Amino acid sequence: MALNPLTVLKQAFGFDSFRPLQGEVVNHVIDGNDALVLMPTGGGKSMCYMVPSICRDGVGIIVSPLISLMQDQLDFLEFHGVEAASLNSSMSLSDQNEVKERLLAGELDLLYVTPERFSNAQFQKLLGEIDIALFGIDESHCVSQWGHDFRPDYRNLGLLKQKFPSVPVIAVTATADPETVDDILLSLDMADAKVFKTSFDRPNISYTIKPKSKKSKQEIIDFLTARKGESGIVYCIGRNTVEKTAQWLKDEGFTTLAYHAGMSDADRYDNQQAFMDGQVDILVATVAFGMGIDKSDIRFIVHPDLPSSLEAWYQETGRAGRDGLNADTLTFYNAGDISKRRRMIHKGNGSTSNKRTSYAKLDAMLGVCETVSCRRKAVLSYFGETYAATSCANCDICKSPVQTRDGTAEAKAVVNLLNEVGDRYDAYDIVSYACTSTSKIKTASSAIRDAFNAIDAKGHEWSSYIRQMLSSGLLKVNLANYGYISVTEAGQAVLNGAAFELNAEKVQIETTVKKVGSKPSARSAAPRKPREDGDYVSSGTSRRKSSKGSPLLEALRRERNRLAREMGVKKYYVIHDSALKEMSEQRPRNGSELIAIKGVGQAKIDRFGTAFLNVIERYAA
Ligand code: ADP
Ligand code: ZN
């Protein structure tokens, strides 16, 4: 007997309604069809396979790359009384046997496995003996060599559709660049799957990206001071930087802990827990922290150094503001970072084509650093999305435009070159053609050569121009075609009179010697005044005030925290901050008023309703 998905959503998980696209995906999969679901971090991907696993007969087999990620979901499911388990190498044999028995007895709604376990012959045999509701492929970009963390074992999932043609497969990911998406469909052998994609825009997250300077340390301190008492992550490149940064912030009076792969499992776990429970405000971490982390009230993310790729940066910044409230991100970069990242790729042990992919993804990140128009627009365009508005009003460039200069000549030169020689060259080839006589490009005509000669720019400047042309959509990297660059329609338009602006500030960033007498940038000409509370966020939003919270909100939070402690669960399992905030404003007096609050379902009312209503009543009295 198939269960109704909305009823399952409400009764099992306590959510009132599906998020955009969740309902469509769920019905599509319940009907037995394949789906690829692209949603940003925090979009609610897991519900897309959890609900159909419960609704359909049999067990949902979920392939997930990390044991810690599985554990978080299992905690969540267990808390909601859903029958779920995992099979992985960290479990004792007797525990594994117990899970197998429950599986064979048809008691489980969901089973989590790693791709390694999935490929295991014994496990494959086990699969033949049970009723399977669906296959869920979490973090499915791992299947693609263009995805940013390719896992060879994921490749074996390509046999799924052959072996189990009648079982629906649902792959989910927060990566959406078109090459990766095509490759996922190809690798999973599900060309006919319906692709569901929500917007990747996270309008409540603000973006600020700055060239590193002597002032940057102070800027970080100011940024963190303005957010004292709130939760945030500082992402650093390696374990040494993590340790040093954590110590520095501690010395500056912040409560902070470190997280990196060099620590023991126990220490890492403790520090993660302390952060999740709100005992420390700031976690200083490497990329190792975050996958599958569901802390909804992260209010800020800082990258003191350039991240490795646009995907990584967007995923890391995307961990903020999952509760829908405002969150701020601050990123720094400089020429040294660029060389360091390039060296890391160069020295890495990937294949040539993997390295090419990594360089292109780093360039995409740099493109967003150097862009002269809305950063949000640039990121979304990279993910194949058109952002209709010209300004998002929530990135540093929209708030305070950068100084630009006419770059039409540079753009025309590159477009004409590629039109003549074809899309058989990468950024490096073009740059070396532009400023040296030794390049793979040998066939261009003398008119093209003259156009380049007329432009006075060094190699690093040309690199930057190419990245800016990429990020503004004039050029495009074809990852699936050796990372070669081609001209887009917008690029051709430059030949017909469309203007192209280059960032006037960039030249200073990548040269070691500051240009003397260069015009001050728009930003340094009109420095923003710090607000009285020391917050440099220029728009006069009321976020700072409201996040401190009214006395009622504080009382509700204390009650929520107490309940969480008492039950030994994470705070947001009890209730999200955003729901508490609405409660403090609406002040419901009974269950039926309480259910009107977003994020409060019947399950939550049954468990916690009275406790919160009591707080509100006491407060009103
Ligand atoms: P993702 O895997 O896409 O990063 P999750 O599946 O972890 O996101 O969901 C993010 C958060 O949103 C979780 O706290 C989850 O419980 C919550 N959530 C998911 N779907 C809904 C819904 N329909 N209504 C309310 N909250 C939801
Ligand atoms: Zn913007």
Among 399, 427, 444, the domain-final residue is 399
CATH number for the domain including 373? Answer: 3.40.50.300
**Quick count: other Cβ atoms within 10 Å of Cβ 467?**
24
Residues around the ion ligand 2 (C-beta < 5 A): 374, 376, 392, 395, 398
Ligand 1 pocket mutation, candidates 9, 15, 293, criterion most atoms within 8 A of CB: 15
Of the three residues 470, 503, 536, the one that is the final residue of a domain is 503
What is the rounded distance in angstroms from the CA atom of residue 286 to the CA atom of residue 303? 10
Range of the domain at 78: 5-197
Residue 29 gets the label, from left (phi > 0), alpha (psi -120 to 50) or beta, of alpha
Partners of 205 in the beta sheet?
327
92 CB-near residues (< 8 Å, 6+ apart): none
Q: Give residue 577's pLDDT.
A: 83
Structure tokens at 58: 């049999």
- CA–centroid distance, 380 to ligand 2, in Å, is 11
Per-residue confidence (pLDDT) for residue 534, from 0 to 100: 21
Please tell me if the CB atom of residue 41 comes closer than 6 angstroms to any atom of ligand 1.
yes
For strands 169-173 and 35-38, give the pairing.
parallel
Which pLDDT score is estimated for 288?
82
Ligand 1, atom nearest to 138 Cα = 2
Exposure of 583 in the CB half-sphere (CA atoms within 13 A): 33
Assess if residue 329 is contained within a domain.
yes
| Alpha carbon of 347 to ligand 1 centroid (Å) | 38
Does 47 sit in the ligand 1 pocket, CB within 6 Å? yes
Rounded-to-5 percentages of helix, strand, coil across the chain: 50, 15, 40
Say whether both 409 and 376 belong to one domain. no
The confidence score (pLDDT) of residue 529 equals 27
User: What pLDDT is stored for residue 251 in this prediction?
Assistant: 97
Same domain, 316 and 219: yes
Q: What was the pLDDT predicted at 280?
A: 96
Q: How many CB atoms are located within 10 Å of the residue 596 CB?
A: 11
Q: Beta partners for 87?
A: 113
Q: Is 39 in the pocket of ligand 1 (CB under 6 A)?
A: yes
CA nearest neighbour of 382 among 399, 397, 368, 396: 368
pLDDT for res 95: 95
Q: Measured from the CA of 18, which atom of ligand 1 is nearest?
A: 23
Total structural domains in the chain? 4
CATH code (residue 474):
1.10.10.10
pLDDT of residue 343: 85
Same domain, 280 and 384: yes
For ligand 1, say whether the CB of 40 is within 6 Å of any of its atoms.
no
Q: What residue type is 575 in one-letter code? A: I
d(CA 234, CA 156): 36
Q: For the chain, which ranges sit under pLDDT 70?
A: 1-2, 146-149, 292, 437, 506-548, 568
Ligand 1 centroid–CA 297 distance in Å is 13
Longest dimension (CA), the chain: 85
Q: Which of 46, 138, 202, 573 to mutate to test the pocket of ligand 1 (most atoms within 8 A of CB)?
A: 46
3-state secondary structure of 311: helix
How many angstroms separate the CA atoms of 380 and 376, rounded?
6
| Ligand 1 atom 13: residue of nearest CA | 44
The predicted pLDDT at position 2 comes to 67
Q: Which position has the token pair 């995923």? A: 315
pTM over the 0.75 mark: no
Are residues 60 and 155 located together in one domain of the fold? yes
Instruction: Starting from the CA of residue 390, give the closest ligand.
Output: 2
- If asked whether residues 320 and 346 sit together in one domain, one would say yes
Contact 248, 254 (CB under 8 A): no
Regarding the beta carbon of 64 and ligand 1, being less than 6 Å apart is answered no
CA of 294 to the centre of ligand 1 (A): 9
Measured from the alpha carbon of residue 76, the closest ligand is: 1
